[in-house]
Amino acid sequence: MDKSKIPADQAEALGALMDDHRAVKKQFKAFKDTEARDGKESIALDVCHQLTVHATLEEEIFYPALRGASDEIDDLLDEAQVEHQVAKDLIAAIEDDPAGDLLEASFTVLSEYVSHHIEEEEGELFKNVIKEKVNLRDVAQTMATRKEELMRELA
């Protein structure tokens, strides 16, 4: 999705989520490109942290703000909720044993799963939010404040 085509009252909120998506995708590539085991562990734990913060913002603030805007959005939010739970399970497995034998496999599945979620979110959910003209100005501010709190709490 092209950020320049997002309406002004949605640009800050959707843009912030898209920035998170891009940052995590770069980390997925860095993990693949890294040979050293300790480097992979570090990247994996950093991504788990970023995804935990991102999912919390969506679940606490972004998704509730969209709920009820349309039946299609509600269906996409239900699906996103299930996808988040699967991602949380993978994150927990990685965080519980980052030095374990399954790090590479778990992180690969997480990256594939999250990449799919990002495609759906940007390709379907965000487009529906734009179509329904959901005003996200206040949501953007609330998300930014909460993100700062979460980054401190989860550091």
- Distance, in Å, from the CA atom of 69 to the CA atom of 18, rounded to the nearest integer, reads 21
Instruction: Count the neighbouring beta carbons within 10 Å of the beta carbon of residue 33.
Output: 9
What confidence tens digit (pLDDT) does each residue in 38-91 have?
999 999 999 999 999 999 999 999 999 999 999 999 999 999 999 999 999 999
- Structural domain containing residue 20: 8-153
Any idea what DSSP says for residue 136?
-
Q: Are 103 and 41 in contact (CB under 8 A)?
A: yes
Report pTM. 0.94
Residue 3 forms part of a structural domain:
no
Do 25 and 115 form a contact (C-beta atoms < 8 A)? Answer: yes
**Tell me, what's the pLDDT at 4?**
82
Count: domains in the chain: 1
- What confidence tens digit (pLDDT) does each residue in 97-110 have? 999 999 999 999 99
Is 50 domain-assigned?
yes
In a domain? residue 116? yes
The span from the CA of 57 to the CA of 63, in Å, is: 9
> Within a domain: residue 1?
no
- Residue 2 belongs to some domain of the structure: no
